[in-house]
Structures are given as structure tokens and as C-alpha cells.
Structure 1
């Protein structure tokens, strides 16, 4: 997060959401990045070049104060679908049935959209970067990454976006907030697709998964990784070894370890504060593991409903709120929102302070255990996950 204080632009690593928009927004090229060991970036400000225009501060998504008071009230009235690509091979090899890739590729092929800004695969860490696609350079399904469980500065290439009539932007809530400010003047109509997100990960999470399966991530960060795909919930594959996703996710995601610090100051998992048209997520709890996969789609706007109806090759199964409610994680999102003031360093009540401190302790203890004992039987990690979640226990 960048702020202006006493005539200087200051960087707060603890609040940074790692979107990368600040570097692109700077007209003086006064911002650069420095890679940390954990795969995240420090923001470096060249005070000799900086003219204090505050463009970086104004566009930084971590600076936006969100109101979560009535966040979940409208969820019973929203429309929900389980969706997937009509081609079984694409469905199987993509994350969660391939709806996100289908919206991007088939949206361009059908000329429903004129442009889309999303991620493309690269051959260098973090193995993905932002890219602008049009009907002249439509990607193949293999060009777009599946889920990525290490942080990617998705907004660093937004200056590639060209003027178009209908533009689609795809990203997590914080990325959408940054992209919207930049992209709204590049098109006549803006479509926002939110990837549900409670926590992005540092590279330490992938290092832990690599150790579990007997692989190693070198200091130069050269490794082959596949996150998800090959059925649902799929696998994680690092170099030549893989393990089922349900085992990989237990500690890092179940107990919120190795989380990007800036994720702690965001409670907008669905992109509602980013004015998302639809949100894409996994159908946890309501679906069993299977060979193909599907995406749980939450529709926020009429435009979002039109997108799903008009873009081809997406199969939709309408669901009621009652049917999907267990998968929406609304209670967990609420608990995350309660701690946002604590992580922002704002004044908050004793209960929130107690829960925030407990969260710190829990992460520290469990990450130490996981690092020292990375190749234990799966039962060991299941037992660790059975211990009471301190944050949840306090914030019942």
C-alpha cells in the first residue's frame, strides 16, 4: 500500500495487495519492484524522480475503505449456477470446469466482447502476467493459467489495454478495484469477472507443497507447477511429482498460512465493492470430488446474467440459494471482515484485538510445525486441522 505522508510517498509491505498497478500509474517511472525471498515484491520509490502527483496513491486498491456492514444481506436474492465447459477435455484439464477460460476465449470468438484483460502463462516466475486479448490475438485454452497459488502482480501490463467497445476484466477483488480505475476510460462498457478470493499465497506455500512431494524449489525460482485441473478439485503438480488438491490445501488454506499480508486488510471476497458482475468460485461442500469439475457462479447484476446466457459453450445448472449456501463461505468471509480494522491498525474492540492476536499466534505456530515436518502422513495434517481454530472460536 502506498500513502502520502509529510511530502513523501511511503510503502507499507504489511498492507500491500501485490497488484502492481502503482508502477504502471506512475508517469515519472519512479516506482520499481524488488523481489523478496517469499516471492512477493517490495515497492521502491525513487524520491528524486517522484513529483508527488499521487496517482499511485489514488489508484492503490489497499487505500479503499470498504463498508461490510450489510455485505451478505442480498445473497439470498442472487442467482446461482453450477457451470462448466461443454467440452469434457477442457472441463477436466481446467480449474473448476473451465468457466473462467470459457468466458474469456468464447467471449472473444463470438465477438460478445472486443477485449479482455486477464492473465497469460509465462515461462518465468511467477509464471503468469497480465495480458490484453482481442479478436486478433485470441488465446487457446492452454495459454491461460489454471488457478495460481502464489502471488502474481496482475496489473503491471494494463497499459496494453486498447480502446474498445465492450471490455472484460478478470481478477480478484483487489485486482478489479485497481483495473476498474484504469480501464473504465478505455471502453464504452466494462464487464467485471471476480475470482473469489479469501487469501492469496506467498511462494512459501508452494515451497511447503514441494517438500511434501519430495521436490525442491531452487533459489532462482525455476520450477514447473500445475495448480488444479485434471478433475475436481484436481491436483497440484510441481516438477515431476503431484498430490491431490484436498491434501495440498489442508494447512495452507484451511488455516490461512503463508497468506499475502495485504489480504488481511481486504474482506471483499466476492468483489461486491469492486462492482463485479459475476463471481466464480469452487463448489466446496456441495459437490464431491469428480473427474470433470464445475464452477459455482454467483450473479450480481443483470449484465452478469446476460454474459452467461450469451457466451457459448458454457453449460449451466440453475441452483437455489439454499442449495449453494454451504459453499458460499459467508460466515468465514464475515469473520475475515471483522479483523480488517485490526490488521489496518485501526481502533477496535477487545474481542477483535484478542481474535487478531490469536490469528497471529496460530499462523506462526502451525507454519513452524509445517516447515519442520513437511513429509508426514496425511493423517498428521488432518489432526493439525482438527485443533480448534482460535480466530473462529473467538468470533463465533
Structure 2
């Protein structure tokens, strides 16, 4: 989070959402990102900074928090769908149903959009696996599907190249997480007010720090310098997590421990759905489709605007699309859990510290043992979930 204190620009990593859009906003290149043990920090060159405040104004962490449940009038307009690519190879490559991959592919193959901004790997190695860090880029022509990441449970500098907008572009499609989309809209509406934006938000309750990747490296006893890549999802739904090295792939069933490696800035996220500012929201269909019913995966897609609905309808040749009821839509978006997260700021300082201690204990335990260790029952005991703790001791996955 960037803010002014006594006239000087300051950065707080405890509130930063790691969107990276500030790196594109600064007119004097006074900001740069430095990779730390858990996340990126934004370094400020005081000799270049002129205190213009552009980075502060677009920072999503400066947005005041509020209930994340869409206003009744927005929810009344929302349409929910279960969608998936008709190309099974795309679905297997994707984190779930491949909808975003189809969106990118068709947007670049058609004439509706001049460019698409999304995460991309800079190169693909000879083994067909990504090499290097994924970053956001403007795409104007189709790329290899292997260069499009699935879910990345780690900090990513999504907005680093957002400023590279061609002045001749008029219709743009942006795909990103809620905080990324909000910051991008603020920046582009100021810098290029005549551009027509269509936005696709990927539902996100919390991002992960680099600790999640470091755990996978320890689990597989691998050195990051000797790897081609770490992957978090893919190979069906919910998929597998693992690493690629020169000998091939090592993987385990999809691993996501909700209580560990959370970015602290995500506790202050003002909206993880973006209903008021996005055209489409894409998510996993938890609670509607069971993995055993659809092992290659599907997506929950919510259209909030006419533009979003028309975009989805234009892809019926490439997607299987099925409408769902408003009740199913509300249940799978899990508004009670989302609003519980939104209320984090209202907790007392002691309560917030207690939650952070719980998470840290889990991370320390996972540093010395595997994710299926009985020692993790400590997490459940601390939360008063005795039944869950006993289930873990008996070897039942909870």
C-alpha cells in the first residue's frame, strides 16, 4: 500500500495487495519491485518521486472496506452459468473449465478487441513447460496456450506493463483478480478515457505468499534454481500441485491450505467479486458441481452487465453453457464467508493478532512436516474445532 506521511511517499507491505499497477502509473519511474521472502516490496526512489500522488490514487488498498455482497439491484441483474470449454485439452490444462483461456483465444482471433491484458509466461522451454516469472502483458495476437498460466498461488506483478497501451487501441479486454481490475480501471480511465474496457474478474478470496511455493519445493526436496516451473493447478479439477524438473513432473493432489501463507494485504481487500465494476466474474463451481461428476472441470460464470452477457453468448460455439438458478449462484459465491472476511478490519487489534498467530503456527508446523501431519490438529484445537481435530487424528481428511 502506498500512502503519504508527512509529505513523503511511504510503502506498507502489510496492506499491499501485490497488484503491481503502481509500477505502471509512476510517470518518473520512481518505483520498483524487490522480491522478499514472502512477497514483493515497492522501493521508492526519493530523488525521482515528485509526490504527484498518482500511485496512491490507483492503489486498491486505499479503497475503504465495505460489505462484499453485491447490492440487491446488482444481484437482481446477475445471471449465473456453468460453462466449460468444448476442447477437453484446454480444460485439462486449465485450473477448472478453461473459460478464461477460451476468452483470450477468441478475443485475439476475432475483431472485437484490439488487445487483451492478462498474465503470460515470457517463454516456453523445449519441454513445453513455462520458463521464468509470469507477468501481465498486452496481447494483440494468439499465443501458445502453454504460455497462459492457470491459478498462481503466489505474488505476481500483474500490472507491471499495464501502461504500454497503444494510443490507437479503442476496445480492450482485461482479465485479472479483483484488486488488479480495480486498480487498472482507475489508471486507464484517467490515462485513456476514450478507451472502452471490458473486464473479467477471477474471484479471489485470498492470494498466497511465496511461502506456498517454498513449501512445495521442500515437499519434493527440490531447489528452485534447478526447476523448470512450479505449478499449482491443472490436470483436471481440482487438479494437482507440483514441480517440473529436467526429469519430468512430480505432483500431489491439489494442495491449498487456507490458513497458511496468506498475503496480509488480502485481509483488507474491499471486494473479491467486483460486482459493481466488472462485466464477468469467473470462479470455481464449488457446491454446484462435484469433482467426481466433472473431473476435467467447469467454471461458474456470472454476468453482471449487458456487455458481459453478450461476450459470454458470443462464445457458445466454443463453450458449453448452462444457466443456473439465482439460489445456486448465491450459495456457491458463499456470501457469508466473503462478508466475514470483509469484517476483518472491524475486529479488535487483539483478535486480529490472534488470527495471525494461528496462521503463523500452521506455517511453522508445515515448515517441519508435511501437510497431512497430525500436528496440524493444533490449528483446529486453537479454533475450537475439536471434532475436526479428532477427525484428522483418525486419518480422515477434513
TM-score (norm 1): 0.85
1:197 and 2:193 are equivalent in the alignment: no
Provide, for residues 207-228 of structure 1, a one-character-per-residue CA deviation record: whole Å limited to 9, x for no partner. 113333x23243x595512221
Kept after mapping to 2: 8 A contact 1:62/1:262 = yes
What pairs up with 1:156-235 in 2 under 5 angstroms? 156-162=160-166, 163-184=168-189, 185=192, 187-212=194-219, 214-218=220-224, 223-235=228-240
Kept after mapping to 1: 8 A contact 2:18/2:155 = yes
After superposing the two structures, state which structure 1 stretch, 231-240 or 317-326, moved more: 317-326
For residue 286 of structure 1, report the CA deviation from its aligned partner.
2.2
Determine the structure 2 residue equivalent to 1:259. Answer: 262
What pairs up with 1:110-189 in 2 under 5 angstroms? 110-122=110-122, 127-134=133-140, 137-162=141-166, 163-184=168-189, 185=192, 187-189=194-196
Q: Which segments of 5 or more consecutive residues in structure 1 lack a partner in the other structure?
A: 342-347, 392-396
What pairs up with 1:72-91 in 2 under 5 angstroms? 73=72, 74-75=74-75, 78-91=78-91
For residue 291 of structure 1, report the CA deviation from its aligned partner.
2.8
Q: Which has the higher helix share?
A: 1
What is the rounded CA distance, in whole Å, between the counterparts of 1:193 and 1:27 in structure 2? 27
What is the rounded CA distance, in whole Å, between the counterparts of 2:283 and 2:267 in structure 1? 19
Q: Per the alignment, do residues 389 and 285 of structure 1 end up closer, same or farther by CA in structure 2, a change over 3 Å counting?
A: farther
Determine the structure 2 residue equivalent to 1:345. Answer: none
Determine the structure 2 residue equivalent to 1:287. Answer: 289
Provide, for residues 323-374 of structure 1, a one-character-per-residue CA deviation record: whole Å limited to 9, x for no partner. 34332121111110001x2xxxxxx4xx554542331121122212221212
Kept after mapping to 1: 8 A contact 2:66/2:342 = no
Provide, for residues 9-67 of structure 1, a one-character-per-residue CA deviation record: whole Å limited to 9, x for no partner. 011111111112222211222112221122x2211111122111111111212112243
For residue 193 of structure 1, report the CA deviation from its aligned partner.
0.5
What pairs up with 1:4-23 in 2 under 5 angstroms? 4-23=4-23
Determine the structure 1 residue equivalent to 2:311. Answer: 307
Determine the structure 2 residue equivalent to 1:30. Answer: 30
What pairs up with 1:62-73 in 2 under 5 angstroms? 62-68=61-67, 71=70, 73=72
Q: Per the alignment, do residues 42 and 233 of structure 1 end up closer, same or farther by CA in structure 2, a change over 3 Å counting?
A: same
SS at match of 2:3: strand
Aligned residues: 368
Provide, for residues 199-247 of structure 1, a one-character-per-residue CA deviation record: whole Å limited to 9, x for no partner. 11111112113333x23243x59551222121111111213310111xx
Kept after mapping to 2: 8 A contact 1:17/1:262 = yes
Q: Per the alignment, do residues 109 and 29 of structure 1 end up closer, same or farther by CA in structure 2, a change over 3 Å counting?
A: same
For residue 188 of structure 1, report the CA deviation from its aligned partner.
3.5
What is the rounded CA distance, in whole Å, between the counterparts of 2:210 and 2:195 in structure 1? 38
What is the rounded CA distance, in whole Å, between the counterparts of 1:388 and 1:79 in structure 2? 40
1:368 and 2:359 are equivalent in the alignment: no
Q: Which segments of 5 or more consecutive residues in structure 2 lack a partner in the other structure?
A: 124-129, 386-398
For residue 385 of structure 1, report the CA deviation from its aligned partner.
6.8
For residue 71 of structure 1, report the CA deviation from its aligned partner.
3.5
Q: Per the alignment, do residues 268 and 217 of structure 1 end up closer, same or farther by CA in structure 2, a change over 3 Å counting?
A: farther
What is the rounded CA distance, in whole Å, between the counterparts of 1:33 and 1:2 in structure 2? 13
1:243 and 2:247 are equivalent in the alignment: no
